[in-house]
């Protein structure tokens, strides 16, 4: 456990902010356990320094105190600090191409922050011991492999769920079965998870909803894994709560690590949503989620609005897990990252508004594919009407209707 005086000594660590971050990153997960005054002091230090760094190294931040948005960052020559650190090129996430937003991550600390400070943090919080078996739904690419699941190892911290893990990765392939028999697809995945003693199922909120529905359909009441580690599940958290209450999973974690100026958070074992104020400070101005990311040296996100809306308390309170936190709620998530999906959602919403509201439950997207999940079977005419809205995508329909008993 880090002691208060260790954090204090960090504040005087170096005159160079880059050196400070290198020293701070490996212990930053301990910050939120400290006295609230000290947490605020260190956050102020980080925010002031990244602001000064950005003003010094990035032209778009010079003499500019207004809220920064993507328009300001469009000209990379005015945004990227000129080779100040080694970096990785990356893009914002999204299941569709077209509107990806390019940015850079500081290479030196990528594994520390993404691996140790995020995925390992989750495993430690839920006492998942190593080595471990991960069932990974992460890829959105269509896979032509014959096998439903492929076993691999990976050095990618996103896939192996941490930096030091020797995890066995069981990757779900969106191959033939996904298109021909979606019920069998989930039935086989559930059976596989039980057979292979899967520790962690790593998937999206969409997958959680379909897993839950298929578990109900198959009337499976036995444990399928220890932890469901999911991103973006907040809208259907009741599925996870119910799975845990039935003993089908031991625990769940909803989490997000944003490098591109959004909210980074995770749920602890007491199901409290914790913003990761140790890595980036997010606050709400006129309902907008504004972020200062302490570690984004290669492409700074300071006083930055990514398009999300949130309500975030200013006051810290102490969770039973020991971390200080501010209550927050994401009110509306940006839509520009996934333009096609966003447009589809808008189209679907108008369809829901003007057609049969109860029928369409949600949509799930993979590369070049959109699956419309409905509560009852649609007529062929209605299916073709919907399919016409997405001329460039393969449109699939799945019924996840009410289940008796
Ligand atoms: Zn907590």
Is 307 found in the same domain as 379? Answer: no
Distance in Å, CA 266 to ligand 1 centroid: 9
Largest CA distance in the chain: 69
| 232 and 320 share one domain | yes
What's the token pair of residue 219? Answer: 């009337």
Phi then psi dihedrals of residue 158, to 5 deg: -70, -35
**In whole angstroms, what is the distance from residue 55 CA to residue 358 CA?**
51
Q: How far is CA 30 from CA 4, 67, 186, 279, in A?
A: 10, 30, 39, 11
User: How remote is the CA of residue 278 from the centroid of ligand 1, in Å?
Assistant: 14
Number of folded domains in the chain?
Answer: 2
Gap from CA of 94 to ligand 1 centroid (Å)? 29
CA–centroid distance, residue 325 to ligand 1 (Å):
8
Residue-wise pLDDT for 48-73, tens only, equals 999 999 999 999 999 888 999 988 99
**CA 32 to ligand 1 center in whole angstroms:** 10
Do residues 386 and 271 both lie within one domain?
no
Q: What is the dihedral of CA 236, 239, 244, 250, to 10 degrees?
A: -70
Q: 110 and 245: one domain?
A: yes
| One domain, residues 170 and 102 | yes
Identify whether residues 250 and 375 lie together within a single domain. no
CA distance 292 to 47: 6
Are both 244 and 381 inside the same structural domain? Answer: no
pLDDT tens-place values along the chain, 405 residues long: 455 556 666 666 556 889 889 989 999 999 999 999 999 999 999 999 999 999 999 999 998 889 999 889 989 999 999 888 999 998 876 433 344 578 999 999 999 999 999 999 999 999 998 779 999 996 666 666 678 899 989 888 989 999 877 899 999 988 888 989 999 999 999 999 999 999 999 998 888 999 999 999 999 999 999 999 998 656 678 999 999 999 999 999 999 998 889 899 999 999 999 999 999 999 999 999 999 999 999 999 999 998 888 999 999 999 999 999 999 988 766 543 333 444 555 556 656 655 555 678 877 877 788 888 889 998 898 888 888 878 888 999 999 999 876
* Ligand 1 centroid – CA 234 distance (Å): 16
Ligand 1 midpoint to CA 291 (Å): 22
**Does residue 388 belong to any structural domain of this protein?**
yes
The domain of 104 spans 39-332
Candidates 268, 334, 299, 321; CA nearest to 126 is 268
Report if residue 348 sits inside a domain. no
Residues 263 and 384 placed together within one structural domain of the fold: no
Residues 118 and 176 in one domain: yes
Distance 33 CA to ligand 1 centre (A): 10
Span from the CA of 299 to the centroid of ligand 1 (angstroms): 31
CATH number of residue 232's parent domain: 3.40.50.12780
Within-domain flag for 337? no
Quote the ligand 1 centre to 326 CA distance (angstroms): 11
Q: pLDDT tens-digit profile of 242-255?
A: 999 999 999 999 99
Answer yes or no: is 338 within a domain. no
Q: How far is the CA of 318 from the centre of ligand 1 (A)?
A: 8
* Residues 307 and 378 placed together within one structural domain of the fold: no
Quick one: 73 and 209 in the same domain?
Answer: yes
Instruction: Give 106 Cα–ligand 1 centroid separation in angstroms.
Output: 28
Domain end residue (candidates: 332, 365, 390): 332
Residues 96 and 191 in one domain: yes
Residue 101 alpha carbon to ligand 1 centre in Å: 32
- Between the CA of 331 and the centroid of ligand 1 the distance, in Å, is 21
CB 260 within 8 A of CB 101: yes
Last residue of a domain, one of 332, 365, 387: 332
For residues 377 and 401, what is the distance between their CA atoms, to the nearest angstrom?
9
């Amino acid at each position: 456990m880090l002691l208060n005086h260790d954090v204090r000594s960090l504040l005087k660590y170096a005159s160079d902010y880059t050196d400070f971050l290198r020293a701070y990153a490996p212990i930053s997960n301990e910050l939120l356990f400290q006295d609230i005054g000290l947490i605020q002091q260190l956050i102020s230090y980080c925010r002031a320094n990244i602001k000064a760094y950005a003003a010094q190294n990035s032209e778009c931040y010079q003499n500019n105190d207004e809220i920064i948005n993507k328009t300001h960052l469009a000209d990379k020559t005015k945004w990227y600090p000129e080779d100040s650190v080694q970096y990785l090129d990356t893009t914002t996430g999204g299941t569709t191409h077209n509107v990806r937003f390019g940015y850079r991550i500081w290479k030196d600390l990528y594994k520390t922050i993404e691996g140790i400070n995020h995925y390992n943090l989750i495993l430690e919080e839920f006492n998942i011991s190593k080595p471990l078996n991960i069932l990974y739904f992460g890829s959105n690419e269509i896979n032509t492999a014959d096998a439903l699941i492929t076993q691999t190892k990976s050095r990618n911290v996103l896939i192996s769920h941490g930096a030091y893990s020797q995890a066995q990765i069981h990757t779900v392939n969106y191959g033939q079965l996904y298109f021909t028999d979606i019920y069998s697809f989930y039935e086989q995945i559930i059976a596989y998870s039980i057979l292979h003693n899967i520790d962690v199922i790593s998937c999206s909120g969409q997958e959680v909803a379909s897993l839950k529905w298929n578990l109900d359909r198959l009337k499976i009441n036995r444990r399928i894994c220890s932890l469901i580690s999911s991103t973006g599940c907040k809208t259907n958290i009741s599925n996870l709560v119910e799975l845990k209450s039935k003993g089908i999973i031991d625990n769940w974690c909803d989490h997000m690590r944003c490098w591109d100026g959004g909210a980074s958070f995770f749920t602890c074992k007491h199901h409290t949503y914790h913003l990761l104020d140790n890595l980036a400070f997010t606050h709400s101005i006129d309902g907008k989620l504004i972020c200062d990311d302490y570690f984004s040296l290669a492409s700074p996100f300071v006083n930055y609005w990514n398009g999300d809306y949130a309500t975030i308390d200013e006051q810290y309170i102490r969770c039973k897990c020991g971390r200080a936190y501010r209550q927050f709620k994401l009110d509306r998530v940006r839509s520009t990252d996934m333009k096609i999906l966003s447009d589809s959602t808008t189209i679907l919403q108008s369809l829901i508004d003007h057609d049969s509201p109860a029928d369409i439950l949600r949509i799930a997207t993979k590369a070049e594919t959109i699956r419309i999940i409905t509560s009852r079977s649609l007529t062929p005419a209605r299916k073709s009407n919907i399919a016409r809205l997405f001329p460039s995508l393969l449109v699939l329909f799945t019924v996840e209707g009410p289940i008796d008993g």
